[in-house]
Chains A and B, each alone.
Chain A
Amino acid sequence: MEQITFSQLKKNLKKDTTGFKEIKLAVLGNCATQLLSHALRGYAYELKIALNVFDADYDQLEPQTLDPNSELFTFEPNYILIQLCSEKFQLEFCDLSPEEQESFADRVMARIQEYWRRVEARTKAPILQFDFIEIDDGVFGNFGLKTQKSFLYQIRKLNMLFSEAASKDKQVFPIALNSLSAQVGRDTFFDPQLFYIAKMPIQVDFLPQIAKRVFDTVEALVGHFRKCAVLDLDNTLWGGVVGDDGMEGIRIGELKDGKIYSDLQRYFKALRNRGILLAVCSKNEYDAAIRPFREHPEMVLREDDFVMFVANWEDKASNIRRIRETLNIGMDSIVFIDDNPFERNAVRSQIADLTVPELPPEPEKYLDFLRKSNLFETVSVSGEDAKRTQQYREEAQRTESAATFASYDEYLQSLEMVAEAKPFDSFHFARIAQLTQRSNQFNLRTIRYTESDIKSISEDDHFITLYFTLKDKFGDHGLISVVVLEKRDNGTLFINEFLMSCRVLKRGMEEFIINKIVNTAKENGFTLVEGEYIKTQKNAMVANLYTQHGFTDRGNGIFHADPNTYIFTPNFIQEN
């Protein structure tokens, strides 16, 4: 993850993008956005994306969003990026009366929401928008922080209003620009020469980082994001080597530089609470390695914070592969954190898709480095996220328990599974959208929906929606499957979306769901159920799902079943 420069990105612009996925991005701003667009296109190339950019002329937000036949809307973008620079707001602010200045943030936010409203009326393209750089105009000095009359007060308020409004608007995804500016400091981030000559509020050197932040969100929206951090122990989660120094000798908490590691553990704990899975991969004796997590009073992370704890003397690449297989997630959704450059290189050379951040040499810099690397971008949070570690841990228990039964059926019976099938409801929109974005393997068509898509589908009579939950005697899996059925003419019910979390594979859940789909068709008087399989790099496991469940292969990835003659597949799941 070496820092890429703007001139490297510029060189990508001429390169051949044949075979890359095409994405259309519209860029709108109140400042010069051409170089930003170049950076975005160059960065897209690194991700094997052919980025087609419509870069609206300077200050065109108003006409472009107002006219339904504007270039913006006829371009039919997949994403819209808005950059509004604070420098321009400041000029505007200066020209207002004192009364108007006091309500500046509210007025600007109302205007921005008006843009959003116009865009949302015409397109479902997610709106990505930078937050605002908090410029201190210096007019009121420190006192500016406590008077509504100051620009500083208003621009800070605007950021808060922006986050508040975005939190309620499912089509808007903010991009953190102010924190990036603060990280490096305004003196480097802003070049007055560049601003006055070219109307560019950002130093060219930072455009690659900004492009990365934009694509972190774009990638998350198409389902590419990281779900798991695999962590080394010695000199990564604590100072010292537990095998040599003993549990009492490792540096954590008050001991010497132990605070560095406590704070790092707090960061990982916060990620875990957000739903990121943590696993340990350490070259150690298991007993010595796990002891601090059980007994050391100053450890922040505890044994049950990890979904897997692998400590042995095998090579790390093999252990990481084992972790990936057990958790059943993609290698590209795993980050491996290790202080040792040798281990990092060894693992990197053996596993191509794995993310291995090149930590700085000094441990005291690890935390800041990880924070700004933005390794765990997301586009949704739901109440279920916090339970994820628990669910994966329960899964490990199930795997152990399965070994004691004579037959697999006997094991399935013993699980006492109960499933629930319900139409989409507003409590679950976020989780449903998240599943459409996250699921890659058991996903028949891999259609990604945002929360606002899910809401409109649930309100549309052309669709029948179903979500499924599953629980068993070991615990609750929560909402694990999403089905969208599309009513077509001539009595056909088309399976528009069908995905399931891989956590519940091979329990009979897929049978239960397909039975439910066919039965729904039957109850609603449809004479044909049509399923489609759209191949991706990751969903080979369901290539034959429909034929395995009695559907007829009609070619071109289309499968048919007649609800009136369909033979339902037995399973051990009770419907609640």
Chain B
Amino acid sequence: MMDRTEVFKRLNEIFQDIFDDEELVVTDETCADDVEDWDSLRHITLISAVERAFGFKFAMKEVLEMENVGAMVDIIAERATK
């Protein structure tokens, strides 16, 4: 089980990169409505970047049902291999 703080640190960098915004800071509560340009295509790009960085695959159900960044962090913390 990966430490959530560690996951947040790495995940935030991925968000900044994908949304091209160095100021962006995500929290447990952050959701698609809070971030400009977070549409389905951007979501899929984000998912594939996260999968690559943490070395695991999300299930499609998870991709569609994650309600906020906190939910994503929970999954990453549990399944990350790197």
Q: Which residues of A contact B (CB under 8 A)?
A: 7, 14, 32, 34-35, 192-194, 196-198, 200, 204
Contacts and interface: CB of A to CB of B under 8 A. Distances in A.
A279 B1 CA distance: 60
B63 interface: yes
Contact of A197 (B20, B49, B60): B60
A204 B17 CA distance: 16
B45 A197 contact: no
B64 interface: yes
Given A7-B49, A14-B20, A196 B40 contact: no
Given A7-B17, A193-B58, A204-B44, 8 more contacts: A193-B63, A194-B44, A196-B60, A197-B63, A198-B40, A198-B41, A198-B43, A200-B41
B51 to A, nearest CB: 10
A35 B43 CA distance: 12
B16 interface: no
Contacts of A7: 17, 49
A196 B58 CA distance: 14
Nearest to A203: B48
Closest 6 pairs between A and B when the two form their complex, measured CB to CB: A198-B44, A193-B60, A198-B41, A198-B40, A34-B41, A197-B44
A196 B47 CA distance: 14
A203 to B, nearest CB: 9
- Which residue of B20, B44, B49 has the most chain A CB atoms within 10 A of its CB atom? B44
A197 B40 contact: yes
Contacts, number: 30
Contacts of B58: 193
Interface in B35-64: 40-41, 43-45, 48-49, 58, 60, 63-64
Name the prevailing secondary structure of the B interface residues.
Answer: helix
B50 to A, nearest CB: 13
A32 B41 contact: yes
Nearest to A198: B44
Interface of B: 17, 20, 40-41, 43-45, 48-49, 58, 60, 63-64
A35 B41 contact: yes
7 contacts: A7-B49, A14-B20, A192-B60, A197-B44, A198-B40, A198-B44, A200-B44
Contact of A204 (B20, B45, B60): B45
Contact of B64 (A34, A194, A197): A197
A268 B41 CA distance: 43
A35 B60 CA distance: 20
Contacts of A192: 60
Contacts of A193: 44, 58, 60, 63
Contacts of A194: 44, 48
A392 to B, nearest CB: 49
B48 A204 contact: yes
A178 B53 CA distance: 29
- Which residue of A192, A198, A200 has the most chain B CB atoms within 10 A of its CB atom? A198
Contacts of A35: 41, 45
A197 B43 contact: yes
A14 B20 CA distance: 10
Contacts of A198: 40-41, 43-44
A197 B63 CA distance: 9
A198 B64 CA distance: 11
Contacts of B45: 35, 204
A200 B48 CA distance: 13
Nearest to B62: A193
Nearest to B51: A193
A198 B40 CA distance: 6
Contacts of B17: 7
Contacts of B20: 14
Contacts of A204: 44-45, 48
A373 B74 CA distance: 42
A22 to B, nearest CB: 23
Contacts of B48: 194, 204
A256 B22 CA distance: 58
A52 to B, nearest CB: 20
A197 B39 CA distance: 11
B75 to A, nearest CB: 14
Nearest to A14: B20
A104 B48 CA distance: 35
Contacts of A196: 60
Contacts of A14: 20
Nearest to A34: B41
A83 to B, nearest CB: 15
B64 to A, nearest CB: 7
Nearest to B49: A7
B31 to A, nearest CB: 17
A39 to B, nearest CB: 12
Nearest to A196: B60
A7 B40 CA distance: 17
A198 B63 CA distance: 11
A204 B48 CA distance: 9
A192 B40 CA distance: 15
A198 B48 CA distance: 12
Contacts of A200: 41, 44
B58 to A, nearest CB: 8
Contacts of B43: 197-198
Nearest to B57: A193
A543 to B, nearest CB: 45
Contacts of B44: 193-194, 197-198, 200, 204
Nearest to A205: B48
A35 B46 CA distance: 13
Nearest to A35: B41
